[in-house]
Structure formats: C-alpha cells, structure tokens
A and B are shown apart, each in its own frame.
Chain A
Amino acid sequence: MYFFYSLCICNHIGCMRSPLWLDMAALVRALRAGRALRGLGSVAVQGTVSPQCRNARRGFHCATLLRLADDSKSGTSVPPPSFHEVPTAGESSSSSEPSEDGQPNTSYQDQSGEHGEDYETEEQLQVRILTSALEFVPEHGWTVEAIAAGAETLGLSSASTGMFNNGAGDLVLHFVAQCNAQLADTLAEQHNLVQLGQAESKEMAEFLRDAVEMRLRMLIPYIDTWPQAMSILLLPHNIPDSLKHLSTMVDDIWYYAGDRSTDMNWYTRRAALTGIYNTTELVMVQDSSPDFEDTWAFLDNRIKDVVNMANTAKQVQATGEAVVQGLMGAAITLKNLTGMNQRR
C-alpha cells in the first residue's frame, strides 16, 4: 500500500519542475485511492496497480484505476481525469508523453473543466491549452514559452508543451484555424440574415472588402508579433498546413460572396483573392496609421484593380469575338469574289 503511495509521489517528483502543491495533491489523491483500495479488499488490484503504473503509459492506467476506485467507493463528484480516446493510433503515438504530466494532475486541478460523463480528448485538451496560450503571446511572442504559460493557467505543468511536436507552429496554426472558423461563422450568419430578408445583400466588391477586413482585424491584438508568426508559417514543415488554411478561408469568402462558378473562374478568383489577402496582410504589419486606415485603403484599391481586370477581360473577349466574326466575314467575301465558294 505504502509502496503504491510512494510510487505515485515518485512519478511526480521525477517530473521536471513539478510544483510542490501538485505533489501534495497527488499525495492526497493517492491517500484517497489507498483508502478506497483497502476498502475494496482486492489484493489482485493492489498487486497489479504498481507494476502497471511503471510502464510507459502509467499515467493513463493510474488515472483509470484511481477513477475506478474513486467511483466505486467515494461516489462523490470527483471530476474524472482527462484521458485519451482509446483506439486512435495517431493519438496514441503522441500520448505517451503527455500522460506523464497531463493525466495525474488534471483530474484534480480540472475543477472548472469537464465534469460528469464528458471526457476530453487529447485534441480538445490541446485546443484549450493553445487558446489560453494566446493571451501570453504579446508577452512571450509565438513561442513555446507562451504555450507553457498557457498550460500553467489551466493548472497543468509547463512540461505539457511536450504534447506539441511542432511547438510554436502549433500555436500559430491553431490561431489561424480559430480565426478562420470565426470568420466562416460570421459570414454564415450574415448569409442567413440575407436569406431571411433581414439584411441587405452586399455588392461583391464590398462583400470581399468587408470579409478580408474582418479577418485581418482579428490580427490586431497580435499585430506586433505577427511578423514572427508569418515567418513561422513559412517554415517548410508548416507550409502545407498554412496553405490549406489559407485556401479554406479564401474558398469560404468566395462561397459566401456568391461565387458558384464551375470553370476556370473558380481558380482565378481564388488565386486573385489569395494575392489580395497576402499583400494586404504584409501592408498591415508595417502600417502605423490610426486604426490601420492605410491598410484598408490599400485593400480597397486592390479589390478595385481585380474588378477592373475582370471587366477588362470580359471586354477583351467580346472584342476578340467581334474581330473573329469580322475576319470570317472577310474570308467568305473573298471566297465568293474568287469563285471558290460555289457548290458544284
């Protein structure tokens, strides 16, 4: 029994920079568990607990067994520990690290989090950590320190940054995805209002302008550190993800702007808007005008350019067709004159 207590404590002391109060929490939990296990009087459980706690996924097993013990004995509203969704291979490979720190602590610290039957998946936990890490970005920049600070506000050890293989890249990609989701939701809401007739529909150029402005305004709280984030997104291993986020966002904007094209226009429009967005973003990071007026003026001009180009393209096509018809007419006239057009 006492071997079991000491083992659990050793788990925590063995971890890096684990605060003393977390060890105390673990001790109290271990004591409760010990009482519960004694109450169960099951030698088999005691016997298997310690060796199981020793293997690589000991956090997971420890937590599960403790939960079982707690549930059966105490019956109080102990918040169940976070644990991974069991089967997915993709998550299990990265789960052995976080189980070290995340698991034994969160069940006790996660008072404000998931109570009752909802268990948090690893992905959801990561999302929570990254979201809380965003507050520390102005202070620490887009770095692992910010993630560590975010983890600490949630009551987790700062070593839970080990969960994030990509470090700062994960944080930036999370932020980008969050902004895009917010944008998509807002656009969908506006679209619904227009469909219900409760709002006026916007002209296309105006819609694009407003959508890009809305999305870029989400960068304003982080604008000082945004160049760092942009350079992180340009790292080779982040490029596929960042491109996907960008293209999803651009597709969303065009869809809600009313584009239903099914030919090359689909591609040219998205390429044009991608160019507009990227150049406007670059202008924004070095814009020092009040409320970024220069940026919005730049955006306006770029969108006007694109609309002009589209109109010009249409005109060129119309002219081209007219010219071709003229040439055909001239050719037929020539054939008639030279007598080549006679059917014999």
Chain B
Amino acid sequence: MLRGSQQTILLTAGQPCINSISAVPFVRGYSVLPPTNDEEEKSMLHRMMRVDHAGEYGANRIYAGQMAVLGCTQTRPLIQEMWDQEKKHLSKFNEILGDNRVRPTLLLPLWNIAGFALGAGSALLGKEGAMACTVAVEESISEHYNSQIRTLMEKDPEKYTELLQMIKEFRDDEMEHHDTGLEHDAESVPGYQLMKAIIQTGCKAAIYVSERDVCVCTDHLEHKRAVFAF
C-alpha cells in the first residue's frame, strides 16, 4: 500500500477540510495489516479495523463527555491522561484506515452522540460514577481485543505479527485504564453492579452492530480488476 504518501500530497488552502493529513508522529516504515489478495481475509481484516476504529472513537467521546462535566474538578488530570492515550489509539487507527482504504463505519455519528452522553451522564454521578463507567467500558474493550487476538492467533500468528503486537499493546493500555478506574473508587458508586452491567451490555450491542455494518455498494469488486490483469 502507499505508505507515507500523505505527506507528499500537497494541498493548497481553501479546499475541503481534510483531517488526518497533518503529521502524525508514528513510524511509517512498516504496514500493520499484512498485504493480501484473498478477498475473504481482506474483508475480515477490514471489518476488524472498522470495529476497532469505531470503538476507539467511542472511547474518545466518552472521555470527552466526562471531561466536559468534571473538567473543573480534581479528577481533570486523571481523565486527561487516559483521554490522551485514547487519542493516540484513535490516530493510529485513522492511519491504518487511511493506508489500507478501509471504509469507516456509517454509525460514527451515533457513537459520537452516544459516547458523549454516556461519559457526561456517568460523570454527573461524580468522580466515582465516571470511574465506574471507565471500568465497565475498558473491560468490554479489553474483552473485545482479546477475542480478536484469539481469532488472529488461531488463523496465523506469523502473518499477523505486527497487527497482534499492536492490538496487544492497546489491550494492555485499556487494562491499565481499567485498573486505574478501580483504584480511584469506582466500586463505591451506588448501584455499581447495575451500572456496570448496563454499560457492558450497551458496549456488546455496539460492537455487534458495528461488526455487521455492511454497506452493500461500497464493498468493492476487487477481483474484477484481477481479471484484467492477466
């Protein structure tokens, strides 16, 4: 794929806003997704990346919501630190989607609003509420990443080395957030178990829906091009 091509595409001012062209401090020397000609494998990888991107986007919005409510309190630096890590994850996924021409999920506006609402809503219950929300969400995300790691390991650990490494790293970060949340009195919020169950069900539903986000007209007929290549 065309790596590092973004920086050489010069765009003059006054054009439609293009985000993610700005310099991103990541190593571009390797490609996380292995290049493949197999349609099924490609669509599986694209689906995984689409869901992960949607997940990180949602997590970003959750922290944004929490920050909006608790931004003027003592928990600000804590939330800010976790939010910054999520921003890093999101920009990594943006890069992958751009490099590999993966379509982003159509439900992004929904995750935008839902995430912000969840973050703000839980933060209204105070710092403990925000931490409980963090714990629940991070646990769901870690579980999701673990199942992806399992899938990839079952298929071919050698081929997906870089991808596995990246997902493992992100999963470890999410587990760290989870533990941080627990440390900061997440469990002391009234109705903790109920809240956690509801949020985790919501996350599972979101992942389920995002995985099945199929846009019929844009799933490409790549193999037709191959016929002309003979």
Contact = CB atoms under 8 A, between A and B. Distances in A.
Contacts of A264: 108-109
Contacts of B217: 240, 243-244, 246-247
B104 to A, nearest CB: 5
Contacts, number: 105
Nearest to A254: B101
User: Which 4 A-B pairs rank lowest in CB-CB distance, beginning with the nearest?
Assistant: A260-B98, A310-B16, A258-B9, A243-B217
Interface residues of B, number: 39
B220 A258 contact: no
A181 interface: yes
Contact of B18 (A127, A195, A260, A270): A260
B17 A310 contact: yes
Nearest to A127: B227
Interface of A: 123-124, 127, 177-178, 180-181, 184, 191, 194-195, 201, 203-205, 240-241, 243-248, 251, 255, 258-267, 269-270, 306-307, 310-311, 314
B228 A203 contact: no
B106 A194 contact: no
A261 B53 CA distance: 12
A203 B15 contact: yes
A98 B17 CA distance: 53
26 contacts: A124-B230, A177-B221, A177-B224, A177-B225, A178-B228, A181-B225, A203-B11, A203-B12, A204-B15, A205-B15, A241-B221, A243-B216, A244-B217, A245-B221, A245-B224, A246-B217, A247-B220, A251-B218, A258-B9, A258-B18, A262-B93, A262-B94, A263-B19, A265-B19, A266-B103, A269-B16
B6 interface: yes
Contacts of B9: 194, 201, 258
A184 B228 CA distance: 12
B20 A262 contact: yes
Secondary structure dominating the interface of A? helix
B36 interface: no
Given A201-B10, A203-B15, A307-B15, A263 B5 contact: no
A273 to B, nearest CB: 11
Interface of B: 2, 5-6, 8-12, 14-21, 53, 93-94, 97-99, 101, 103-104, 106, 108-109, 216-221, 224-225, 227-228, 230
A255 B108 CA distance: 20
A255 B2 CA distance: 10
A260 B15 contact: no
Given A124-B227, A260-B21, A244 B6 contact: no
Contact of A258 (B6, B19, B109, B218): B6
Given A262-B97, A263-B19, A264-B109, A244 B220 contact: yes
Nearest to B223: A123
A314 B14 CA distance: 10
A251 B220 contact: yes
Nearest to B9: A258
A204 B13 CA distance: 10
Nearest to A314: B17
A191 B5 contact: yes
A61 B214 CA distance: 43
Among B11, B21, B97, B218, chain A packs the most CB atoms within 10 A around the CB of B218
A283 to B, nearest CB: 23
Contacts of A204: 11, 15-16
B223 to A, nearest CB: 9
Given A204-B11, A310-B16, A311-B14, A260 B6 contact: yes
B218 A247 contact: yes
B98 A262 contact: yes
B228 A261 contact: no
Given A177-B225, A260-B21, 7 more contacts: A194-B9, A203-B12, A244-B217, A244-B219, A265-B17, A265-B19, A314-B17
B97 A267 contact: no
A219 B221 CA distance: 21
B224 to A, nearest CB: 5
A123 B227 contact: yes
